Structure 1
């Protein structure tokens, strides 16, 4: 419920333990009157992230949030849309009447808001993860002919990826028949690069952390434009 530090809303944000970029990125986008509360989940067992999230979710209810956000891109793990629907239902059952936003749902909403049809996708780590991403969005009706991983070997190194490396990854999948670029994998902190990337590439770039926080605010009925974070962030 709204409180002293969040008269417009309290958001409980779940982020992986090692993703040191996500808390400052969410805070950078936070409009006045919104209270961000951060909770952590472990990715120690990469194939059991949904289970780890479900086991941690109860802790967030103590701050009486108006919205719970799950900031992890589970589609990289090879989950299918029906499996994700089941996971989302379990999350909602855990939190009851509290509103829920997931990073996976948010990127879908963002792509549709931008009118994306034929997209190219990147993720921070392996090509296998990026292919999982392509398979997931393709199954939802998007055409995803191109994807690539940045091949970052250690999760803790992802935060150090800069603009030039991110741009090089997008250029690998830059084809004239692509109308939108997608970045999935929230440990890759590029929200401050999005406007420059969109200028360089000449098309929208949907990145997971902007999509997630934008969708969270809109779900709460907060329509402030998020200036400095690209085309999606201006949409009300």
Structure 2
């Protein structure tokens, strides 16, 4: 009796890389913005964190939402593990949620041990992108309330990045972040820019900023970094995929 042919060691559609992507259930932006950058021979396999779309009217409400996301992170990784990803990009600011520094590093280490492969998160990716572009002075765009703004600013400043201006959009809930109009995002870029600003950096993974960032970067002639492309870029580079992607901004074109 003939034996079936042996299985390939890699998925047929992912001869180069199987990238895991973990996002909150309310996030409808990260998958699309990362898929737009997916190199040939790569699959993005997504897992979702069970989080509620709770109303957010201030920092106390935001803290409850962040806690739910952190609590669901490991369970989401468990649903992704059977696919055996080579690398995982996390579409949440885990360091922001747990205070940054040692606590953030510990959470990422726990995530890597849980899934059994390297894990890339947005804040570390942002620092890598700024280093690659030689940027030390930025303006910061977030969808957060003041507490979230302060945490993101502190993480960057602790790493030696000067944050000269912060604009928080105060989205009234996790799902609402994805519904901020492009016109408001373009206006935010204008509010943040100035001659002292070397780059504009956006955080908050559900904010649909990638297309706005590409247009703004061309117009301003300086880096405008959207968090999902930045995270995906760093994850690809850490996984050994160095493709340059025309039209995706200077980070993908040059670094």
SS in 2 for 1:29: coil
Where does residue 127 of structure 1 map in the other structure?
146
- Root-mean-square deviation (Å): 1.8
1:26 aligns with 2:34: yes
Q: What is the TM-score with the length of structure 1 in the denominator?
A: 0.92
Q: Give the drift of 1:76.
A: 4.2
- Runs of 5+ unmatched residues, structure 1: none
Q: Give the drift of 1:78.
A: 6.3
Q: Give the drift of 1:195.
A: 2.1
Select 2:126's aligned residue among 96, 103, 107: 107
Query: What is the distance in 1 between the residues matched to 2:151 and 2:241?
Result: 32
Cα deviation digits, residues 10-45 of structure 1 (max 9, x gap)? 011101101112212111111111011010013344
Q: Give the drift of 1:75.
A: 4.3
1:225 aligns with 2:244: yes
Query: What is the distance in 1 between the residues matched to 2:179 and 2:170?
Result: 13
1:53 aligns with 2:73: yes
Query: What is the distance in 1 between the residues matched to 2:138 and 2:98?
Result: 18
Where does residue 12 of structure 1 map in the other structure?
20
Q: What is the TM-score with the length of structure 2 in the denominator?
A: 0.85
How many residue pairs align between the two structures?
A: 235
Q: Give the drift of 1:72.
A: 0.6
Q: Which one has the largest radius of gyration? A: 2
Moved >4 Å (runs of 4+): none
1:204 aligns with 2:212: no
Cα deviation digits, residues 162-210 of structure 1 (max 9, x gap)? 3321121122222321111110001011212222111333310111100
- Distance 1:156-1:150 versus aligned 2 partners, 3 A rule: same
- Distance 1:110-1:12 versus aligned 2 partners, 3 A rule: same
- Runs of 5+ unmatched residues, structure 2: 1-8, 53-63
Query: More displaced, 69-78 or 208-217?
Result: 69-78
Q: Is the 8 A contact 1:179 1:204 kept in 2?
A: yes
Query: What is the distance in 2 between the residues matched to 1:112 and 1:92?
Result: 24
